[in-house]
């Protein structure tokens, strides 16, 4: 029998022991690599550990676009939690309608229908099901692209390391090189009207890969030509991360479906969505039980969505992301060129999605650790180990920006010595 919480020995309640015991060795080893630091609280661009250390948070894999726990989002969620956190799902629920209204008001024109879910992967699943309901059974995604790890989404997340242990995945999936229009054209040549293309505007987990100019527009044109559906996965890039509301908008493209997540959380609530044209959404219109989930559109999550969209709009975070991002990119490039030209291959990005590509994965690991030593949290890249990603909040102040640059400068200076 399990010991009750009150009589278990204190050491058994240590986060690292609990991780090892219940969440797996790998999780605890990863935590140990970063000094076994334990998160205690987070606010804005700051995360604080239980030993009282404060870190600048430029990590979180993109969820902290509005900073952690934005006060307006927290307040909206608290109010909703007190009144009605979850719904019967039989009566009308005002929160989900208002959230959908807020989200579609900033979405590319024509994407008026919404299906809410919890994770990015679930949004991908929803899009795959809608595509199939429209007879598009062939899926095409891009090599090294990332769309989540549930079985359907994993079929599109084109990296054999994640896929191989779980085969067979969905049938009829083709992966083509990102940025290569000719390869997509070839894949679309057969099976007119049977395919659905899923693509990120900028490949994020692949290591912030920027496509050639005009790529997404050409993808959209090819889809039109071959009557393929176009799903743009903006789970990472959407809602301002690239310094525009959407990567699709930057490319002048109106997809059939658009996936959103991460920033939609307001740094508070795990939530994602698929935006779709009414035509695409039609199968779900007809039968509301065709694609359901107990927690889809939960009032508590919807309060966060509405408040988050309002915060991004009212605080002009999209423009701030563009301005801060451009300045940061220049400064980071200058530092890399001056301090460690032989270690850093490239600094690239758009808005506040910035990738620093190092010579190899070991160096990227070292940069992560050096930055943590200097109290700045950044991300690694799931599909590109030599690339460290910076995803700072758009609320970053000039002082925090300077802090980030100093940490980057000092980290690379130290690494240049170690690796020389
Ligand atoms: N799509 C993209 C573009 C992503 O970056 C991610 C997460 N990194 C996902 C989908 C999957 O989201 P989640 O981890 O919430 O399932």
Verify whether ligand 1 is closer than 6 Å to residue 146 (CB atom): yes
Verify whether ligand 1 is closer than 6 Å to residue 147 (CB atom): yes
- The 10s digit of each residue's pLDDT in 244-287 is 999 999 999 999 999 999 999 999 999 999 999 999 999 999 88
Residue nearest to atom 1 of ligand 1 (CA): 147
Instruction: Report the percentage of the chain scoring pLDDT > 70.
Output: 97
Ligand 1 atom showing the smallest separation from residue 261 Cα: 15
What domains appear along the chain, each with residue ranges and CATH number? 25-57+316-418 (3.90.1150.10), 71-314 (3.40.640.10)
Confidence band for 419, pLDDT divided at 50, 70 and 90: confident
Verify whether ligand 1 is closer than 6 Å to residue 263 (CB atom): no
Q: What is the mean pLDDT of residues 333-345?
A: 98
pLDDT of residue 12: 61
User: Facing residues of 234 across strands?
Assistant: 260
Verify whether ligand 1 is closer than 6 Å to residue 256 (CB atom): no
Enter the tokens of residue 22.
Answer: 């219940």
Phi, psi of 346 (to 5 degrees): -165, 145
Beta-strand relationship, 138-142 and 173-176? parallel
Verify whether ligand 1 is closer than 6 Å to residue 61 (CB atom): yes
Verify whether ligand 1 is closer than 6 Å to residue 261 (CB atom): yes
How far is residue 312's CA from residue 64's CA, in Å, rounded to a whole number?
12
Asked if 184 and 212 touch (Cβ cutoff 8 Å), the reply is: no
Verify whether ligand 1 is closer than 6 Å to residue 145 (CB atom): no
Q: What angle do CA 263, 357, 123 make, to 5 degrees?
A: 30
Q: 259 or 420: which carries more pLDDT confidence?
A: 259
Q: What is the mean pLDDT of residues 368-395?
A: 97
Confidence band for 11, pLDDT divided at 50, 70 and 90: low
How far is residue 276's CA from residue 110's CA, in Å, rounded to a whole number?
8
pLDDT of residue 4: 42
pLDDT of residue 340: 97
How far is residue 359's CA from residue 113's CA, in Å, rounded to a whole number?
44
Q: Is the pLDDT of residue 315 over 70?
A: yes
- The 10s digit of each residue's pLDDT in 49-73 is 999 999 999 999 999 999 999 999 9
**3-state SS assignment for residue 143:** strand
**Torsion sign over Cα 30, 33, 36, 37:** negative
Average pLDDT of every residue of the chain: 95
**Torsion sign over Cα 139, 177, 201, 204:** positive
The pTM of the full predicted model, rounded to 2 decimals, is 0.96
Asked if 218 and 211 touch (Cβ cutoff 8 Å), the reply is: no
Centroid of ligand 1 to alpha carbon of 147 (angstroms): 5
How far is residue 169's CA from residue 267's CA, in Å, rounded to a whole number?
32
Verify whether ligand 1 is closer than 6 Å to residue 204 (CB atom): yes
Q: Is the pLDDT of residue 36 over 90?
A: no
Ligand 1 atom showing the smallest separation from residue 203 Cα: 3
Centroid of ligand 1 to alpha carbon of 260 (angstroms): 9
Instruction: Write out the DSSP string of 351-390.
Output: TTEEEEEESSHHHHHHHHHHHHHTTEE-B--TT-TTEEEE
Helix axes of 94-105 and 299-314: crossing angle, nearest 10 degrees: 30
Verify whether ligand 1 is closer than 6 Å to residue 162 (CB atom): no
pLDDT of residue 5: 46
Closest among 284, 260, 238 to 122, alpha carbons compared: 260
Residue nearest to atom 13 of ligand 1 (CA): 120
Residue 203 DSSP label: B
Q: Is the pLDDT of residue 218 over 60?
A: yes
Please identify which residue in the block is written with the tokens 């779900």.
284
- The 10s digit of each residue's pLDDT in 118-146 is 999 999 999 999 999 999 999 999 999 99
How far is residue 54's CA from residue 218's CA, in Å, rounded to a whole number?
45
Tell me the C-alpha to C-alpha distance, in Å, between residue 7 and each of 2, 3, 13, 23.
Answer: 10, 6, 11, 21
How far is residue 306's CA from residue 309's CA, in Å, rounded to a whole number?
5
How far is residue 128's CA from residue 164's CA, in Å, rounded to a whole number?
20
Residues 6+ apart with CB under 8 A from 179: 209, 211, 212, 215
Q: 4 or 212: which carries more pLDDT confidence?
A: 212
């Amino acid at each position: 029998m399990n010991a009750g919480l009150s009589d278990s020995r204190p050491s058994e309640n240590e986060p690292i022991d609990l991780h090892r015991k219940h969440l797996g060795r790998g999780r605890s080893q990863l935590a140990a690599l970063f000094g076994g630091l334990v998160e205690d609280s987070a606010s804005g661009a700051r995360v604080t550990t239980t030993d009282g250390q404060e870190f600048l948070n430029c990590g979180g894999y993109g969820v902290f676009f509005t900073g952690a726990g934005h006060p307006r989002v927290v307040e909206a969620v608290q109010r909703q939690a007190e009144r009605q956190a979850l719904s019967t799902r039989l009566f009308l629920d005002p929160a989900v309608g208002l959230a959908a209204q807020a989200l579609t008001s900033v979405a590319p024109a024509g994407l008026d229908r919404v299906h809410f879910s919890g994770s990015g992967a679930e949004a991908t699943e929803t899009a795959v099901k809608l595509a199939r309901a429209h007879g598009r059974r062939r899926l095409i995604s891009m090599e090294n692209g990332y769309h989540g790890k549930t079985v359907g989404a994993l079929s599109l997340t084109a990296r054999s390391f994640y896929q191989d242990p779980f085969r067979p995945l969905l049938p009829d999936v083709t992966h083509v090189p990102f940025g290569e229009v000719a390869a997509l054209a070839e894949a679309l040549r057969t099976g007119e009207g049977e395919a659905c293309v899923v693509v990120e505007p900028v490949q994020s987990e692949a290591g912030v890969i920027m496509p050639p100019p005009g790529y997404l527009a050409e993808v959209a044109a090819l889809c039109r030509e071959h009557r393929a559906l176009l799903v743009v996965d903006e789970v990472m890039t959407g809602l301002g991360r690239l310094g525009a509301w959407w990567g699709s908008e930057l490319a002048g493209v109106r997809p059939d479906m658009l996936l959103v997540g991460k920033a939609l959380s307001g740094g508070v609530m795990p939530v994602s969505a698929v935006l779709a044209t009414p035509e695409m959404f039609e199968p779900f219109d007809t039968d509301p039980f065709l694609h359901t989930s107990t927690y889809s559109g939960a009032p508590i999550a919807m309060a966060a969505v509405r408040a988050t969209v309002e915060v991004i709009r009212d605080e002009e975070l999209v423009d701030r992301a563009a301005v801060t991002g451009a300045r940061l990119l220049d400064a980071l490039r200058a530092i890399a060129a001056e301090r460690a030209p032989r270690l850093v291959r490239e600094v690239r990005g758009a808005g506040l999605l910035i990738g620093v590509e190092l010579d190899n994965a070991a160096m990227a690991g070292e940069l992560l650790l050096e930055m943590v030593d200097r109290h700045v949290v950044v991300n690694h890249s799931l599909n590109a180990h030599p690339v460290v990603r910076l995803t700072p909040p758009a609320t970053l102040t000039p002082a925090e920006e300077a802090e980030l640059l100093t940490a980057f400068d000092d980290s690379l200076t130290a690494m240049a010595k170690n690796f020389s």
